[in-house]
Amino acid sequence: MQVFRNKLSQYVRLADDAWLPIKELDQRTETFEAGEDLIVAGQDANEIFILQTGWALRYRLLEDGRRQIVNFMLPGDVFDLQSLADLQADHTVTAITDCDVTVIPARPFVRMLRDSTRIAAAFWWAAVQEESILREQIVRIGRRSARERIGHMLLELHRRYAGATGEETDELVMPVTRADIADALGLTPVHVSRTMSAMRRSGLIAEERGSIKLLDRARLARLSHFDTDYLHLKKLNLLTHGLSSNHTAPATALDAD
Amino acid sequence: MQVFRNKLSQYVRLADDAWLPIKELDQRTETFEAGEDLIVAGQDANEIFILQTGWALRYRLLEDGRRQIVNFMLPGDVFDLQSLADLQADHTVTAITDCDVTVIPARPFVRMLRDSTRIAAAFWWAAVQEESILREQIVRIGRRSARERIGHMLLELHRRYAGATGEETDELVMPVTRADIADALGLTPVHVSRTMSAMRRSGLIAEERGSIKLLDRARLARLSHFDTDYLHLKKLNLLTHGLSSNHTAPATALDAD
DNA sequence: CGCCCCGTTGAGGAGAGTCAATGGCTGTGG
DNA sequence: CCACAGCCATTGACTCTCCTCAACGGGGCG
C-alpha cells in the first residue's frame, strides 16, 4: 500500500490510522509476469487492483489488428474502479514488466468505502486523476504534433513515476518499445523512431537500454506545451501552505459532516 | 430528472420512490443560453450538473489557440462528478444550444449518496459510462481514419441521444458546426467537410439545416467499426431477461448488504 | 441590403504512413 | 563458445491522408 500512499500524499495528508480499514480487507497480493493479462476485454470484472511494482498498460484492439493504448499504469495506480459497477471490461490490461498487484474484491471494498469517509475521498481523488489523464490523452492525440505528443507523454510519465516512487531524477526507466509508444500516441513505430532520433540529436533526451534521460525538462515542457499542474498538483501547494500541521485531509465534499 | 432516468433505465430498473431522496435535495434549475459557459477552466467547481435539455461540450484550449473537444454532453448526462473532490476544473464546458440544467451543490449531494445506496449506484453507472466514452474517444482519434471517426461519432451520438430521449429514428438533430466536429475528432473543418460530402455522395447520410439523417446505419457501423455494445448496453439485455419483475436494480458491488 | 458566419471546393504542401532492407542485442542450442 | 533466430530500432524511398491557404456562395439577421 506504500506506493499508493506516496501517490496520494501529493494531494492529501492522511494519518496512519486512517489506513487501518483497508488493511483489514480481504486483499491478496498477486504477481503477474511481463506479458500476462490482468484484465481481459469481455470478461466480468469484480475486483479492483492497486499496482505495487512494475508497469502495465490498458489497450483496445480493433477488428483489423490496429491497437490503441488507452493509458499506462504505474506503481500506485488504482484500477478498475469501474468494476464496482459489475460490468464487463471493454479493454484489456497487460503487464509490461513483472508486476506485483494488490487485488481487492469489489464488495468488501465498497463496504469499506461506505464506512470510511477518508479512504473514500482518497480513492475518489485517484479516480478523478485517472479521468484527468484520459482527457489529457485525448488532447494530446487530437491536437498535437508527433514531437509534442512524445515529449508531453514522457513528461507526464516522468512526473507520475516520480510522484509514486518519491524519486526525483531526470532518469525515466521506461520499459516500452517504439511500438508501444506509437500505439499510445496514434503514430507508427517508424515515425516514433524518427522523431525520437531527432529529439536525441537536438539534445532533448538521451537513451540507453530502456532508460530515457530527460536532458532538458524545461525546454521539453515548453516545446510540448506541458502544463506541470495538470495532474492537480496545484492542490498540493494549497495543502502544504494552507493547513495546520495536524495530519488530516482538507475538507472536501466527500468528508462527512 | 426525467431524462436522466430515461438514460439510466437502459441499464438498471429503479423504483419511483428510490428517487425521493434526490428530490429533497437543495437543487435548482438553471438555463444557459447557447454559447454560455457552464464550467470554466481554472475555476473552482463544487456543484454537479445534470443536463435536462440541449447540448453542451467540454473542451480544452491550447496555448496557440488550437482547441480539442473532449466530449459532448447530451440530455441526461451528469457532470462534473469530479467536482466532488473540490478541484479546479481543467477544462471548460459550454452550451451549444440553450440548455436547462439541474444544479446540485456537491456537499448535500454526497451526503445523499451516502444515505441512498440505490442512487449512488445509479450515479456510479453514469460515471463509468462517461469514462467509457472517453476511452472510446481515445481509440477513435488515435487509430481511425477521418471517415471512420466521423461515422463512429455520429453513431455514438445517435445512440446516446436515442437512449436519453427514448426516440428511435434515423434522424439526429445535431447543432454542431464542421469546426466542432473537427475539434472533437482531431481534424480540420475543411477535411470534415470534404469527408462528409463524400459520405453524402455515397448515400450514407443526408443533411438539411442542422439535422443529419443516418440513411444506412448498418453500413455506417460496418464501415466505421462501431460496436453497438460499447456503452455497456449488453447489460440491458441481461437485466430485462434475467430479472424478475420487481422494480429494483440488480445486485452490484455498490448495493448494500 | 449588406454583413458575417458557415460550408464548400480547388490547388498545392507537409507530416505521417508504408514497404523494405540493415544491423544490433539477446537468448538459445548445438 | 559460437552460430543462428528473433525481436527491435533505424534508415531510405516513396506514397497518401490530411492540412493550409484561398476564393466563392448561400442563408440568417440586424
pLDDT score for A185: 98
Does A177 share its domain with A124?
no
| Domain carrying residue A198 | 144-226
Q: How confident is the model over B135-167, as pLDDT tens digits?
A: 999 999 999 999 999 999 999 999 999 888 887
Chain B partners within 8 Å of A149 (Cβ): none
Is the C-beta atom of A177 closer than 7 angstroms to strand D?
Answer: yes
Of all residues in chain B, the one with the smallest CA distance to A66 is B143
Q: How confident is the model over A67-98, as pLDDT tens digits?
A: 999 999 999 999 988 888 777 888 999 999 99
Substitution target in B61, B73, B110, B111 with the highest count of A β-carbons within 10 Å is B110
Contact between A257 and B124 using a beta-carbon 8 Å cutoff:
no
Tell me whether residue B251 is in a domain: no
Tell me whether residue B129 is in a domain: yes
Tell me the percentage of chain A whose pLDDT exceeds 90. Answer: 57
Tell me the percentage of chain A whose pLDDT exceeds 70. Answer: 88
Tell me whether residue B248 is in a domain: no
Does A38 share its domain with A153?
no
Of all residues in chain B, the one with the smallest CA distance to A69 is B139
φ/ψ of A244, rounded to 5, equals -70, 180
User: Residue A195 is part of a domain; what is its CATH number?
Assistant: 1.10.10.10
B 167-226 residues with CB below 8 A of A? 183-186, 225
Chain B partners within 8 Å of A184 (Cβ): 142
Does A129 share its domain with A169?
no
Buried/exposed A146-163: b ≥16 CB within 10 Å, e otherwise: bbbbbbbbbbbbbbbbbb
Chain A nearest CA to B146, separation (Å): 12
Closest nucleotide (C1' vs CA) to B194 is C8
Please check the confidence at residue B256 and state whether its pLDDT lies above 70: no
Does A210 share its domain with A178?
yes
Tell me whether residue B249 is in a domain: no
Does A185 share its domain with A148?
yes
pLDDT score for B253: 62
Does A86 share its domain with A175?
no
Does A92 share its domain with A186?
no
Rounded CA separation B218/B8 (Å): 25
Residue type, A137: Q
CA angle B196, B200, B204 (to 5 degrees): 100
Does A109 share its domain with A174?
no
DSSP SS3 for B213: strand
Does A164 share its domain with A70?
no
Tell me whether residue B182 is in a domain: yes
User: Residue B194 is part of a domain; what is its CATH number?
Assistant: 2.60.120.10
The reply to whether A25 touches chain B by the CB within 8 Å rule is: no
Rounded CA separation A92/B135 (Å): 12
Structurally, chain A folds into a number of domains equal to: 2
Substitution target in A11, A90, A232 with the highest count of B β-carbons within 10 Å is A90
Chain D: positions less than 7 Å from a protein CB are 8-13, 17-22, 28
Tell me whether residue B252 is in a domain: no
Tell me whether residue B176 is in a domain: yes
Which residues neighbour B12 within 8 Å (Cβ) at sequence distance 6 or greater? B121, B122, B125, B239, B249, B250
End-to-end Cα spacing for chain A:
27
Does A240 share its domain with A120?
yes
Chain A nearest CA to B109, separation (Å): 8
Does A124 share its domain with A244?
yes
Q: How confident is the model over B229-247, as pLDDT tens digits?
A: 777 655 543 443 333 333 4
Does A104 share its domain with A127?
yes
Tell me whether residue B200 is in a domain: yes
Substitution target in A143, A144, A226, A236 with the highest count of B β-carbons within 10 Å is A143
Of the ranges A145-154, B109-118, B234-243, which is most confident? A145-154
Rounded CA separation A255/B241 (Å): 39
